Amino acid sequence: MTQWTQVTEEVAEALAQHRPLVALETTLVSHGFSDGLGLAAATESERRVREAGATPATVGIVDGAIHVGLTKAELERFAEAGLAARKIGARDLAACLAQGALGATTVGGTLAVCRQIGIRFMGTGGIGGVHRGFAESLDISGDLLQIARTQAAVVASGPKSLLDVGATSELLETLAVPVLGWQTPTLPRFYTAEGGPPVSAVVSDSPEAARICAAHWELDGAGGILLARPPADGIDLGPLIDEAVEEVRGQNLSGQAVTPAVLSIVHERSGGASVTVNRQLIEDNAALAAETAVAYTQLQNAVLAPGDDPVSPVNTRVLPGPEAGEQQRTTVLSRLRRVM
């Protein structure tokens, strides 16, 4: 944890006692919706995380500090600021902090904070990825690199629908990021479960996802995982999204400005249907992230023998790495096999 980081008492206690935590972003509050709907989605997401037995850790930059866990007043501040709040990816953290600006974290920005704190699970709507027309723009979201380098599982409904989903899937493979389909063999396309490329593995329930997380982090201590959950009541907005992407392209927008511009058009022209699906999948993904975090914590506790100290998520991996003695590694791995 750095001098720039502040955590709420609730989050600090969860970290100290090794209880399940779920990180949530703030871009959806300030940039994702209008008319206060982002605030409602964030508040409900936190409630769903608690209901599932985990502690929510919503991340944002307020008055020159990274806040992990936000008060109601701070969430309202992001909602009131809207697009005036800076959209903060991993590259933007330092400038936002030093300049004392209000910063709403993206998936990538939130994961950069998770890496500092030791939070292993995150819930969001959709991840960034490879933009359409990449060959001309070279536009790829920093979310992908942060997923690849952060020991965390991100629960999302696939890449945002305005992206090149196939190319994003290929780049995730190149980055060695496992893409787990939550009861689906294909990668969801945000608003719809249909038409995406194959996932690397299908998982049936949270305990199974937790076991894969534990094994992956033992084999690749630095790598992240994408757990892709299809929207419960998806709709096919493909033609409308294509239309919106072309319209925004004609406005010469690029980078972080593209997504909110496209989503604004889609929300308006779908008569609000896209907003309904978007809110629901954000809240459902937060709940699934919490369920998986709880299952992972239970697995971690089962691995430990009575009297063992719990393994700190901040400073160590769940299982000993090469630096541990052979006897210790063998003992812990044998316990993991018993509970798996």
Q: What is the mean pLDDT of each run of 10 residues along the chain (340 residues)?
A: 88 95 97 87 98 98 96 96 95 97 98 96 96 82 96 95 91 97 94 89 98 93 92 83 82 74 81 87 97 96 60 36 42 40
Residue 180 DSSP symbol: E
Give me the catalytic one of 25, 46, 74, 291: 25
Cross-strand pairs, 72:
none
β-sheet bridge partners, residue 131: 163
- Cβ(179)–Cβ(216) below 8 Å: no
Residues 61/94, Cβ–Cβ less than 8 Å: no
Catalytic residue among 46, 160, 283, 291: 160
Q: Which residues have a Cβ under 8 Å from the Cβ of 208 and sit 6 or more positions away?
A: none
- Give pLDDT, residue 35: 77
**Alpha-carbon distances of 107 from 58, 123, 251, rounded to whole Å:** 11, 9, 25
pLDDT of residue 304: 61
Assigned token pair, 57: 């850790």
pLDDT for res 161: 80
The predicted structure's pLDDT at residue 261? 81
Q: What is the pTM of this model?
A: 0.85
Please report the pLDDT score of residue 322 as a whole number. Answer: 39
Q: Is 25 a catalytic residue?
A: yes
Contact indicator for 124, 25 with CB cutoff of 8 Å:
yes
Is 72 one of the annotated active-site residues of the chain? no
Residue type for 50, please?
R
- What pLDDT is recorded for position 110? 98
Q: Residue for token digits 């160590």? A: 316
**pLDDT for res 305:** 52
pLDDT for 240 equals 84
Residue 255 is classified by DSSP as: G
Beta strands in the chain (DSSP E): 5-7, 21-24, 55-62, 65-68, 86-88, 103-105, 121-123, 153-156, 179-182, 201-203, 225-228
